[in-house]
């Protein structure tokens, strides 16, 4: 299994509060991704990173920001959480090459009340 | 607008029989396709992939077929086993590193 951890694994928060989710990898892979999974939508890309300090938006980036100051860590921040951001969040990593397989972390279940 | 569609939310199959999962896509720029399997409370795991220059790829009990003219791909699992009970996601890529996923099909293998 690819060495990917996500923290926290579960979080309950209130509307309007900031939330940061962390993804940590031990594989030294260049690419890192944040997805959210919702019923009826599958997984949707929020943001991704193609190197330290290099990030780009995905399909559903509104309300989210990311940072990557080290190869191994990719942070996802909800500046002011809303109930529509209640979801399961997955981090993924991949190595060089466009067709390199993306490996997923175990997920973080976030509930915004 | 979802560019990858899995129109069957669920599939029930008897152990030992074939499972056929279907996936349709609308973006003609997609040139690489993947299937992922997901168990509850775990992240998706890669199952099998196919490039648009092929029409079939096999890996053990899993075979993916691609019909580019119909913008359709399918995953065959033969024979189905109880451990195959999971959610299966179809995904596609178009010239960059971003994956577009379908909504998933829940497979239940009956003993």
List, for chain A, all residue ranges whose pLDDT scores fall below the cut of 70: 1-2
Question: Mutate which of A24, A38, A43 to test chain B, going by most B C-beta atoms within 10 A?
Answer: A43
Q: Work out the number of other CB atoms within 10 angstroms of the CB of residue A46.
A: 24
DSSP-assigned states of every residue in A75-93: EEEESS--GGG-EEEEEEE
Contact check, Cβ <8 Å, A43/B49: no
Contact present, A34 and A76 (Cβ < 8 Å)? yes
A20 SS3 class: strand
What length does chain B have?
Answer: 111
Q: Is A8 left (phi over 0), alpha (psi -120 to 50) or beta?
A: beta
The beta-carbon neighbor of B42 closest among A33, A42, A106 is A106
Say what the pLDDT of residue A74 is: 98
The beta-carbon neighbor of B98 closest among A48, A90, A104 is A48
Contact check, Cβ <8 Å, B101/A42: yes
Number of separate domains in chain B: 1
Domain coordinates in residue numbering, chain A:
4-112
Contact check, Cβ <8 Å, B32/A102: no
For the A4-112 domain, the top CATH level (class) is mainly beta
Say what the pLDDT of residue A97 is: 72
pLDDT in tens, chain B (111 residues): 789 999 999 999 999 999 999 999 999 999 999 999 999 999 999 999 999 999 999 999 999 999 999 999 999 999 999 999 999 999 999 877 789 999 999 999 999
Q: What is the pLDDT of residues A19-35, one digit of tens each?
A: 999 999 999 999 999 99
Say what the pLDDT of residue B8 is: 95
Contact check, Cβ <8 Å, A98/B101: no
Tokens of B22: 């279907």
Q: What is the pLDDT of residues A79-93, one digit of tens each?
A: 999 999 999 999 999
Contact present, A9 and A22 (Cβ < 8 Å)? no
Question: Would an 8 Å CB–CB cutoff place B62 in contact with chain A?
Answer: no
Contact check, Cβ <8 Å, B93/A40: no
Question: Mutate which of A1, A24, A42 to test chain B, going by most B C-beta atoms within 10 A?
Answer: A42
| Closest alpha carbon within chain A to B10 | A40
- Residue A69 CA to its chain's centroid (Å): 15
Q: Where are the beta strands (DSSP E) in B10-98?
A: 10-14, 19-25, 32-38, 45-51, 56-59, 62-67, 72-77, 86-93
Say what the pLDDT of residue B97 is: 78
Which residues fall within 8 angstroms of residue B111, CB to CB, at 6 or more apart?
Answer: B15, B82
How close A81 gets to chain B, by Cα (Å)?
23
Query: Any idea what the CATH number is for the domain that residue B87 is in?
Result: 2.60.40.10
Could you say which residues from 26 to 45 on chain B have a Cβ atom under 8 Å away from some Cβ of chain A? 32, 34, 36, 41-45
Which DSSP category does A9 fall into? S
Say what the pLDDT of residue A2 is: 65
Residue range(s) defining the domain that contains residue B10: 4-110
């Amino acid at each position: 299994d690819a060495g990917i951890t996500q923290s926290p694994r579960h979080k309950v928060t209130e509307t309007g509060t900031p939330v940061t989710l962390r993804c940590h990898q031990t594989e030294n892979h260049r690419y890192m991704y944040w997805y959210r999974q919702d019923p009826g939508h599958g997984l949707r890309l929020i943001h991704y990173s193609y190197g330290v300090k290099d990030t780009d938006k995905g399909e559903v980036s509104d309300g989210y920001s990311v940072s990557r100051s080290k190869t191994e860590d990719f942070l996802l921040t909800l500046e002011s959480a809303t109930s529509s951001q209640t979801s399961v969040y997955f981090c993924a990593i991949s190595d060089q090459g466009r067709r390199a397989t993306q490996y997923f972390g175990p997920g973080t279940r976030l509930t915004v009340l | 607008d979802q560019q990858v569609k899995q129109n069957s939310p669920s599939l029930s199959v008897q152990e030992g029989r074939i499972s056929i999962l279907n996936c349709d896509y609308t973006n003609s720029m997609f040139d690489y396709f993947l299937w992922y399997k997901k168990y509850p409370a775990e992240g998706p795991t890669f199952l099998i992939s196919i490039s648009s220059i092929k029409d079939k790829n096999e890996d053990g009990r899993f075979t993916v077929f691609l019909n580019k003219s119909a913008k359709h791909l399918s995953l065959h699992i033969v024979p189905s086993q109880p451990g195959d009970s999971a959610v299966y996601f179809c995904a596609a890529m178009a010239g960059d590193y971003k994956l577009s996923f379908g909504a998933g099909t829940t497979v239940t293998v009956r003993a």
